[in-house]
Amino acid sequence: MTDFQGSILSIVTTLLERSDKGDLTVALDTAIHGDGLGLDSLETAELSAMLEDEFGTDPFGAGLMPETVGEIVDFYTEGEASVPA
C-alpha cells in the first residue's frame, strides 16, 4: 500500500466513523456513493474538505466526481494535482 493509499483510506475511515458508518469495510474498489459507502452530498463535501486539508487540493474541488476510493487515489498518484511529496 502506498502512502497516498494509506492516507486516503484513513481519511475515509475517519469520515465513516464520524457518520456512524464505522462498520463499513473500505477498499480501493469500494464505491463512494450508493451501495458502497453511501455518502450523501454533505458527507461528500466533508470528504472533499478533509482531502483538501490534507493534500492542499481535492478531486471534487477540481471538478471531478470520483466513483470509487481508488479513483480518489488515482487523482493524486496520476499527477493531476500538485501534491506535496
Partner 1 sequence: MSTQPRTVVITGGSKGLGAGIVQSFLDSGDRVATCSRSATPLTKEWESDPALADRFLFIEADISDREQSTAFVKAVIDRWGAVDVLVNNAGVARDGILALFSDEDSDTVIDLNLKATIHLTRQVVRSMLTKRSGRIVNISSITGLTGYRGLTVYGATKAALDGFTRGLAREVGSRKITVNSIASGYLKTEMSHGLDGGQLDQIVRRTPAGRLGEPDDIARAVQFLVDDRNDWLTGQVLVIDGGLTC
Q: Report the interface residues with partner 1, using CB under 8 A.
A: 18, 42, 45-46, 48-50, 52-53
As measured in angstroms, the least distance from the Cβ of 40 to partner 1 is: 10
C-beta of 5 vs 48, nearer to partner 1: 48
Sequence-ordered list of residues with C-beta below 8 angstroms from that of 51, at least 6 positions apart, any chain: 8, 11, 57, 58, 59, 60, 72
C-beta of 27 vs 45, nearer to partner 1: 45
Place of cell 457518520: 19
C-beta of 3 vs 53, nearer to partner 1: 53
As measured in angstroms, the least distance from the Cβ of 17 to partner 1 is: 12
The stretches of the chain forming alpha helices (DSSP H) are 3-18, 41-55, 69-77
8 close to 52: Cβ distance less than 8 angstroms? no
